[in-house]
Amino acid sequence: MERPTDTVPPGTTDSDQISREELQLATRNHGMPLEALRYPVTPLGLHYLLVHYDIPAVDPVAWRLVVDGGVERGLVLSLDDLRERPGVTRRVTMECAGNGRARLSPRAVSQPWLVEAVGTAEWTGTPLRLLLDEVGLADGVVEVVFTGLDRGVEGGVEQRYQRCLSVEEARREDVLLVYEVNGQPLPPQHGFPLRLLVPGWYGMASVKWLVRITAVEDPFDGYQQVRAYRYRQDPSDDGRPVTRIAPRSLLVPPGIPDFLTRRRFLSMGPCRLEGRAWSGWAPVVSVEASVDGGRSWARAELDPPEAAYAWQGWSYLWDPPAAGEYELCCRATDATGRVQPTAPQWNLGGYADNDLHRVAVTVTPSVAR
Ligand SMILES: Nc1nc2c(c(=O)[nH]1)N[C@H]1C(S)=C(S)[C@@H](COP(=O)(O)O)O[C@H]1N2
Ligand SMILES: [Mo]
């Protein structure tokens, strides 16, 4: 579904051209090259990256985490204090809420993701819940606010990057304060020395460069909570908050790419299409593949989930009947019945656009070497 009216709301564009501002964001941040879908755990450096402002340079010796607000016993913790607490490692797929944004029309002028803002990592940290139990939340506390060290101006508002969770969500046993990824200390760009990890939610909830956790008795009204990350149809609409990850599946583009267009060339013969599928709401229960742009579908083989919030592998054996042009796509359904739509569901910020991943392929009698 394209936007039903022909007006272009503020902050969006209907131009086919990517602006210099979008390019500037796209060169600072980066997606996961789709061939990296082959790895169950994304090698560091291939995991997608999204940084709103600047990457802070943090001295780990001087760094402290402050836990304050409506708590019985406030705490100030060093990195060593956190590392001495009970540790857990979880395999979690993270995806940016703006993934798919650049395919919408009009599109929000922001990080212009196509489909590649995703990655899966082994995150190690200590459960937030244990820390909240230790400090003791006061009776009237409704939310917990997480503050990053990074500062910037967004929508005309100077701010630190901040997000909140309800007490219930913050006390989920799988929410972690993370200091390692794939067995190494967090690198600067992924939140060194400490980040929040909220499995199942879009990436904006997992605050990086964490310095403060504050229990609050009034709903938090920070920019990233009440202005950004809302599903809205027009700027006057308060919208609904963006929370969990909608189901999506991607496929490893088969064959070899054309350098500029990335159209694929594949020689005749059986080809195992493969990819990954995930949902933050529930496990994926089926993936279907199509080789005719979504007109007809066949059930793919789906691997069982390896961890509660990690993507699942899928594959489909395709034997092209003839040389020619094909459009491959895939579609995931999760256990709640949520399924990927065949066309975008438009919203102003370009969030959670999980319509089909389409890959154009030319099947040739043989590939030139
Ligand atoms: N402090 C802080 N935390 C942040 C952000 C940020 O800009 N600053 N970006 C958020 C967004 S929008 C996403 S999608 C994820 C990206 O995490 P990654 O770069 O480690 O993949 O971090 C989130 N946490
Ligand atoms: Mo994001």
Q: What is the pLDDT of residues 175-196, one digit of tens each?
A: 999 999 999 999 999 999 999 9
b/e map of 14-48 (b: 16 or more CB within 10 Å)? Answer: eeeeeeeebeebeeebbbbebebbeebbbebebbb
**Ligand 1, atom 15, residue with closest C-alpha:** 203
Q: Are 342 and 327 in contact (CB under 8 A)?
A: no
**Could you identify the atom of ligand 1 that is nearest to the CA of residue 210?**
1
**Ligand 1, atom 11, residue with closest C-alpha:** 204
- Tell me how far apart the alpha carbons of residues 352 and 232 are, in angstroms, rounded to a whole number: 12
Burial class (CB in 10 A: 0-12, 13-18, 19+), 84: exposed
pLDDT category at 7 given cuts 50, 70, 90 is confident
Q: What is the pLDDT of residues 34-80, one digit of tens each?
A: 999 999 999 999 999 999 999 999 999 999 999 999 999 999 999 99
Mean pLDDT estimate for the chain: 96
Residue bearing tokens 């040389």: 323
Rounded to 5°, angle at Cα 111 from 110 and 116: 145
- Tell me how far apart the alpha carbons of residues 148 and 144 are, in angstroms, rounded to a whole number: 13
Distance (angstroms) between ligand 2 centre and the Cα of 185 equals 22
Cα torsion 280, 117, 164, 81 to 10°: value is: 100
Ligand 1 pocket mutation pick from 93, 96, 243 by most atoms within 8 angstroms of CB: 96
Q: What pLDDT is attached to residue 90?
A: 98
Beta carbon of 289 within 6 Å of any ligand 1 atom? no
Beta carbon of 203 within 6 Å of any ligand 1 atom? yes
Weakest mean pLDDT among 8-17, 138-147, 200-209: 8-17
b/e map of 285-313 (b: 16 or more CB within 10 Å)? Answer: bbbbbbbeebeeeeebebbebebebbbbb
CB-side neighbour CA atoms (13 Å) of 303: 16
| Angstrom distances, CA of residue 92 to CA of 35, 336, 363 | 19, 19, 35
Q: Which ligand is nearest to the CA of 222?
A: 1
Full-model pTM: 0.97
**Could you identify the atom of ligand 1 that is nearest to the CA of residue 149?**
1
Q: What pLDDT is attached to residue 368?
A: 53
Q: Are 125 and 179 in contact (CB under 8 A)?
A: yes
Q: Are 303 and 312 in contact (CB under 8 A)?
A: yes
Beta carbon of 208 within 6 Å of any ligand 1 atom? yes
Helix (H) or strand (E) holding 239: none
Distance (angstroms) between ligand 1 centre and the Cα of 285 equals 29
